[in-house]
Structure 1
Amino acid sequence: MNKFGKYFEGKPIVVTGASGFIGSNVVRSLELAGARTLALVRPSSDLWRLQSLNQETSVLSVPLEDQHGLKKLFQIERPEHIIHCAAPIHLSLIEVDQLSHNQLIADNHLINIFKANNDVGGTLASFVHICSSTIYDWSPDRYILSENTALNPATLRGKLKLSQLNTCIGLAEKNEIPLRVGRIFRAYGPWDFNDRFINRALNAAFGGAAVPLGDGSFKRDYVHVNDICNGILGLIEDNSLATISLNFGSGVDHSPSEVIQIIESILDRKIPVIRGTFPKNIMDRGRYKADISLAKSILGWEPSFNLTEGLKQTINWYKDFFKVEINDD
């Protein structure tokens, strides 16, 4: 169902990082909205998430390191918007030298995109940057995060995200292109198969390894990827927006134990867990959730899924796509 009317019909829109979890879902949302989507991937990308797309979507192997390829893309396609989902890494950063290396890669990607746009006379009406809630400063007694919350990441990955955002802000200002930023909380939903908690729980439910579960005292804000995509498209559709950052979360936080209980209730079976003490993750402290009032007031956006509804939809997709049933042994 297209909830965006005719605004997107036929519009050329570039999605970087299109083979990833959020990027691929953005591509499918743009399809439903009628856009002419240009899905950029690396030559080495696994395209399993980009199956069965319609003829209005082009999957293009154009690395963001390739200045010539990007310029040619802008010359031929004249994109009106870019949704930048690409990230230089997919795993957790551990060493500081990894941070510096990946900062250089991320900056180079952004510089190449803006240069390609300039080289053909400028076609972009907006640049939408997909950022992360890990850029925020938070603590157990300061856990409701708004767009005005100080930016002070606790992790190297968060520092990379903030560095990427700052570069994006500078380039957008210099080139006078409206920058719209989506700050994403804990995404889940169809087409995700990374090593995240909800995926581990689903894998365990269908016969995989048991889920490590510590004391479960921390809580996270889980937001369905369809809701994220609706927010991202809303950032494009509202032409009155200049540069702005908006949170896309559910506004509700849940503990790992609560997530397990919801999945068990949906499937009517127990999920195998391993309880005990595990190495501390710096993010596993206290509560953590989005203040989404600004997105509601500016875009009229709010999540359409609560966690139970979102997990039901995700489980149905999981069973259908992977052709699995519950293992009762």
Structure 2
Amino acid sequence: MKRIIVTGGAGFLGSHLCERLLKENNHVIAIDNFFTGSKENISHLLDNKNFEIIINDIIEYIHVECDEIYNFACPASPIHYQRNPVHTFKTSIFGILNMLNLARDCKARILQASTSEVYGDPLEHPQKENYWGHVNPNGIRSCYDEGKRSAETLMMDYYRQYNTDIKIIRIFNTYGPRMNENDGRVVSNFIIQALQNIPITVYGDGSQTRSFCYCDDLIDGAIKMMNSENFIGPVNLGNPYEMTVLEFAKKIVDMTNSKSQIIFKDLPQDDPIKRQPDITLAKEKLNWKPDYKLEEGLKKTIEYFDNYLKNK
């Protein structure tokens, strides 16, 4: 039985990862400070004898004996990471330093949950892993974008200097049950607005594109990456099926039978115009590609938010 740390283990993706690792007969230690994570996300795991939760901010030193570390701790939506940008940057830099030192000391393998935001507002489309990105280093999104880019730098430096056993995944837009209601992301925003029959807010003219990966597919990819040999990444994990934000809004209205009208607001600063992963490398190295069709994943997500709003 492996002892596996999941930082951000009470978050949206972290909680799904903890659940999956427990099903695979591991001892899972979730570390979370509940900045954006929630106790409700892991409440169903608390009775499992192979699960423990440590309330801690990873910018503070912690030592826990382990075999593997999944570093998923960091606010990932603009509303939350811009709420305290200095702390967001510290989470990426001091947090990964603490986890890399822990991995080195325990001779553990560490996986960094990086992001498609390392590509910024890309000039290459779709984005491949060898693209260096087009990122504003001093904008309102920089605390997250540059923090994640710096974390990748530290991962590679520990690999080269200390031979630390590392893995890097770059996560593209992911959705599913347990998304934060107030995270400002397009999936949760549109579903909640549609279920409440209030106006759906599209930023810009809605022609910007996104691709959406269901959480179960993403977790599959992360675990495959952790268990892979002779491949450290970075590797894109996401769904290459691309659509405009306006098309997506209309789909949500249709799937929820909503009376919501679509309204348009100004596009936020540095909001990417296009975002689509090239997953050739993931197919080749991990034998991974997303299985969920968009409608399939959205149905589960809509059900989750419908129940959430009814029980609120």
For Structure 1 versus Structure 2, the TM-score category normalised by the shorter chain is 0.7 to 0.9
Per the alignment, residue 242 of structure 2 pairs with 253
- 1:135 paired to 2:118: yes
| Structure 2 residue 306 is the aligned partner of structure 1 residue 323 | no
Q: What is the Cα deviation at residue 108 of structure 1?
A: 2.0
SS of the equivalent of 1:127 reads: strand
Q: 2:56 aligns with which of 59, 62, 71?
A: 62
Number of matched residues?
300
Residue identity over aligned pairs, in percent, reads 21
Query: How does 1:2-41 map onto structure 2 within 5 Å?
Result: 10-41=1-32
SS of the counterpart of 1:128?
A: strand
| Contact 1:40–1:60, Cα closer than 8 Å, also in 2 | yes
Q: CA deviation at 1:258?
A: 1.4
Report the 3-state secondary structure (helix = DSSP H, G, I; strand = E; otherwise coil) of the residue aligned with 1:229: helix
Q: Deviations over 1:151-189 (max 9, x none)?
A: 342441211210122122212333312211110111111
* Cα pair 1:89 1:102 within 8 Å, conserved: no
| Change beyond 3 A, Cα 1:104–1:41 | closer
Q: TM-score, normalised by structure 1?
A: 0.82
* SS at 2:207 equivalent: coil
Instruction: Tell me if the contact between 1:131 and 1:165 (Cα under 8 Å) persists in the aligned partners.
Output: yes
Aligned to 1:230: 220
Do the aligned partners of 1:201 and 1:271 also contact (CA within 8 Å) in 2? no
1:108 matched to which residue of 2? 94
CA–CA distance in 1 between the matches of 2:170 and 2:76? Answer: 18
Q: Could you say which structure has the larger radius of gyration?
A: 1
What is the aligned partner in structure 2 of residue 82 from structure 1?
69
CA contact (8 A) 2:107 2:164 kept: no
CA distance in structure 2 between the aligned counterparts of 1:39 and 1:292, rounded to whole angstroms: 29
Moved more, 131-140 or 188-197: 131-140
1:51 is paired with a residue of what secondary structure? helix
Stretches of structure 2 that go unaligned for 5 or more consecutive residues are: none
Instruction: Give yes or no for contact 2:118–2:133 (8 Å, CA) kept in 1.
Output: yes
Distance 2:160 2:278 in 1: 26
Q: Secondary structure at the match of 2:213?
A: strand
Partner SS, residue 254 of structure 1: strand
Aligned partner of 1:42 in structure 2 is 33
- Measure how far apart 1:228 and its partner are: 0.9
1:219 to 192, 196, 209: 209
CA RMSD of aligned residues (A): 2.6
The aligned counterpart of 2:135 is 153
Greater displacement, 188-197 / 316-325: 316-325
Q: 1:269/1:42 Cα in 2 relative to 1: closer, same or farther (>3 Å)?
A: closer
Instruction: Indicate if the aligned counterparts of 1:127 and 1:180 stay in contact, CA closer than 8 A.
Output: yes
Specify the SS of the correspondent of 1:162. Answer: helix
Q: Deviations over 1:194-238 (max 9, x none)?
A: 221111111112216422224111111111111111100101222
CA contact (8 A) 2:59 2:90 kept: no
Shift of residue 308 of structure 1? Answer: 1.6
In the superposition, relative to structure 1, how do residues 178 and 208 fare at CA in structure 2: closer, same or farther (>3 Å)?
farther
- Give the Cα–Cα distance (whole angstroms) in 1 for the partners of residues 172 and 49 of structure 2: 32
Counterpart residue type for residue 63 of structure 1: D
Please say if residues 171 and 236 of structure 2, whose CA atoms lie closer than 8 Å, have aligned partners that are also in contact: yes
Structure 2 counterpart of 1:312: 299
Counterpart Cα distance in 2 of 1:64 and 1:88: 12
